[in-house]
Structure 1
Amino acid sequence: MEDHHRTPSLTVRPLEGGRGVRAAGEIGLATHTIWERALEQAVREGEAVYQLELSEVTFVDVAGTGALAAAAGRLGEGRRFVVRRPPPALCRVLETFWPGLSTIEVSMS
């Protein structure tokens, strides 16, 4: 039987061999602070291309996707996030609320 009383968790660690981070867990109300800190760090680092590896993220809520879109909006000219293997919900929410956002590239590979 599943334990529904566990606290959702999110871990964010540096990406091996590249500029960016690998996130694992859930991006929701309980983990927004961690997610927003990781995005702030990404904006500050100033890399032209910053990888967000999300293949181990099981859930992203609308606010988490909004935080990503807002951070992408602060990247500045010629910079972008490459979001790798995100949960399908993230792609749907981006396409619905932030269509054609040129600072986020989704890669399924």
Structure 2
Amino acid sequence: MIEQAIDRTLDPAGSDGDRAERGRDVGYAIEGVRVRTALLQLDGVFEPPYLVVAGEIDLATVAVFTAALSSMVERGTGDVWVDVEKLGFIDVGGLRALASAACRLELQERRLVLRSVAPHLVKLMDLVGWSRIPGLLMIGRHQNGTARAVAL
């Protein structure tokens, strides 16, 4: 099953009359991003820009991830926070989407802040030099769950 709502305001009152027809509550919230696929779940709000990523970003999901991240960059103000604590896998396409978003934000004097980055992902980003992209801040997590700032 795929459920997707990007750049949409969900009406908490259900005034459009179709709330019962949806079959289940889709999480009424302020304007933001909500994506549900078998491999990827995204939940975010535009103000303040904050996106929670769970699952896998690969060839099958990179397009929807890129669209959601772009929406966060375009619609939000200030730094864009992305919580990747529950991200199980990300391929180079997903990494490119993050790098591109950080570069776009840097041009606006904003940052992409990755929160709870797994140690192996911090190491990979450092190895390829992407941890030093202007506009990117990674807050890595240690094996014991504590956090530390990695790079600007």
Deviation at 1:50, TM superposition (A): 1.1
Residues 80 and 103, structure 1, Cα contact 8 Å, conserved in 2: yes
Question: Per chain length, whose mean CA-contact separation is higher, i.e. which structure has more relative contact order (CA < 8 Å, sep 6+)?
Answer: 1
Kindly report the root-mean-square deviation, in angstroms, between the aligned alpha carbons of the 2 structures: 2.2
Residues 59 and 87, structure 1, Cα contact 8 Å, conserved in 2: no
Question: d(CA) in 2 for partners of 1:93 and 1:42?
Answer: 24
Q: Which moved more, 1:39-48 or 1:55-64?
A: 39-48
Q: 4+ residue stretches of structure 1 with deviation over 4 A?
A: none
**Counterpart residue number, 1:4:** none
Is it true that 1:77 corresponds to 2:72 in the alignment?
no
> Any idea what the Cα deviations from partners look like across 1:52-72, whole Å, max 9, x if unmatched?
001000111111101110121
Residues 56 and 88, structure 2, Cα contact 8 Å, conserved in 1: yes
After TM superposition, the structure 1 = structure 2 runs for residues 1-109 of structure 1, keeping only pairs within 5 Å, are 9-14=39-44, 18-75=48-105, 76-95=107-126, 96-108=128-140, 109=147
Residues 12 and 23, structure 1, Cα contact 8 Å, conserved in 2: yes
Residue identity (%) = 30
Question: d(CA) in 2 for partners of 1:71 and 1:50?
Answer: 9
Q: Could you tell me the TM-score, scaled by structure 1's length?
A: 0.79
**Structure that is richer in helix per residue:** 1
Deviation at 1:97, TM superposition (A): 4.1
- What SS class does the counterpart of residue 74 from structure 1 fall into? helix
Larger Rg: 2
Residues 55 and 89, structure 2, Cα contact 8 Å, conserved in 1: yes
Question: d(CA) in 2 for partners of 1:90 and 1:37?
Answer: 22
Deviation at 1:105, TM superposition (A): 0.4
Q: Could you tell me the TM-score, scaled by structure 2's length?
A: 0.59
**Residue type matched to 2:95 in 1?**
T
Residues 50 and 81, structure 2, Cα contact 8 Å, conserved in 1: yes
The alignment covers a number of residue pairs equal to 102
**Residue type matched to 2:115 in 1?**
R
